Copies of this chain bind each other. A is one copy, B any other.
Amino acid sequence: MFPLPQKECREPATCLGSASPQDMGRYCRGDVEGECSRRAELKRPELCGVGDPIAMFSSASSCLSSRGRVIKWFWDSAEEGYRTYHRDEYDEDKNPNGVINLGTSENKLCFDLLSRRLTQSDMLRVEPPLLQYPDWRGHLFLREEVAKFLSYYCKSPLPLKAENVVVLNGCASIFSALATVLCEVGEAFLIPTPYYGAITQHIYLYGNVRLAYVYLDSEVTGQDTRPFQLTVEKLETALQGAKSEGVKVKGLILINPQNPLGDIYSPGELQEFLGFAKRHSLHVILDEIYMLSVFQESLEFRSVLSLERLPDPQRTHVLWGMSKDFGMSGLRFGTLYTENQDVATAVASLCRYHGLSGLVQYQVSKLLQDRDWINRVYLPENLARLKAAHTYVSEELRALGVPFLNRGAGFFIWVDLRKYLRKATFEEETLLWRRFLDNKVLLSFGKAFECKEPGWFRVVFSDRPQRLRLGMQRVRQVLESNPK
């Protein structure tokens, strides 16, 4: 049901948490934003369920600790797609035959708007407190602004409070800190798959916390169901499965809008999942980082913060950041919202390692405060561009006769290329992925999201029209030259 070692390591220094050698394979293929897709078979451990899983790292890197070698291995194993892309990055003028990146989930559509706003004179303010040691939870002026911003855009029934806000340098850091303060070494969070694979590392590298997968599949079983639909029944089964393996599950991670599916949970579904968590005293970590990237007008996204009553507010923790909705993954801004002051304080205690510059805190507060620009300039234009790009790629896929999930949120389309595999294996999936890369277009394969069905790919569409056109042309070339 999910990757677990058959027998627990007692000695953490030589223990991979959830990782049996076989599981290392799973771990290594998480989708890593900024590092594109990974090579599936690269350095796949050969040992299988016996001996010391660290042993395989012992020959090289003799100066590193065993966990240091594992940490380095995560970096190295991510390299093939990333290296290829960065060695040969597409540039319209300088390198028109370079690799087009439709693998990394970044919004590259609104640089003009952002650049204009970020270079306005109000962005460059330098006051003594901004250059001095901050309140590690984040400057109060910023936390107040975040609380107002989330109250407004999440439509919270009551104003949210600055004291429940902790500011960090990105949501990766929030996952790392939350995992560490909520779980013991080796404990787990439930997560429905397919999911944004980098979370595997975020909770593991420092925290030694693992994931217990709730595997979803594409089969539609009834009138009101959809592919990869999460249900309480599936959550219960996965939880019981973990228990029967002796694994302590401490929480549930939900990504909403979902990455890579683009799905949105309805308020009713949210309440059911929260109810399930409460019954089992599980924390719920809600990653709502795409909450403002819902470009289909007919859809209504409901943040968990909009609910009239949370079943278990002390165990409900919300993540948001500017990487996606404001197209600035390089800004490194993420925020945790939690009513649990113990959790907020414990995370703050780790913020010394996740702090962001006072100058950036000031800039973010100015941006979040500028409702006029957000509501009249940025959001409408951004959503229109996302929609146009989504429409373009959807039509291309339709023209190719390729099935896909037609959703209205996020930066990506979840595409069913199963018919292009000669056999339904992840090896075949990797081969197809490499054919795309050889044809200079980088995609993410389903295994990186722990999808249980080989042949699904995530195609990012939030790029500029010219690059998108060329990227889709290259996708088409591969698919047309490679019928089943």
Contact = CB atoms under 8 A, between A and B. Distances in A.
Interface of A: 10-14, 33-35, 60-61, 63-69, 71-72, 74-76, 104, 106, 108, 111, 114-115, 118-119, 123-126, 128-134, 136, 169-170, 172-173, 176, 180-187, 198, 201-202, 205-206, 250, 283, 314-315, 327-333, 340, 342-343, 345-346, 348-350, 352-360, 363
The list of the 9 closest CB pairs from A to B, nearest first, reads: A34-B133, A68-B181, A13-B184, A330-B358, A75-B349, A72-B346, A61-B342, A12-B12, A131-B330
Nearest to A178: B68
B342 A63 contact: yes
A106 B123 contact: no
Contact of A75 (B66, B182, B346): B346
Tally of this chain's copies: 2
A119 B132 CA distance: 17
A185 B68 contact: no
Nearest to A11: B10
A122 B439 CA distance: 40
A130 B353 contact: no
Contacts of A330: 129-134, 357-359
A391 B34 CA distance: 51
Nearest to A67: B180
B185 A314 contact: no
A357 B361 CA distance: 10
A68 B329 contact: no
A327 to B, nearest CB: 7
A123 B75 CA distance: 32
Contact of A350 (B126, B205, B348, B358): B205
Given A119-B124, A330-B129, A357-B331, A349 B186 contact: no
A178 to B, nearest CB: 9
B353 A354 contact: yes
A12 B185 contact: yes
Nearest to A351: B75
Nearest to A354: B353
A354 B136 contact: no
A446 B75 CA distance: 41
A124 B366 CA distance: 15
A72 B342 contact: yes
Given A330-B132, A342-B60, A353 B126 contact: no
- The CB with the most chain B CB atoms within 10 A, among A182, A314, A353, is that of A353
Contacts of A69: 346
A357 B356 contact: yes
A359 B186 CA distance: 37
Given A12-B12, A72-B181, A133 B106 contact: yes
A63 B111 contact: no
Contact of A283 (B63, B327, B340, B360): B63
Contacts of A124: 118-119, 123-124
A472 B68 CA distance: 47
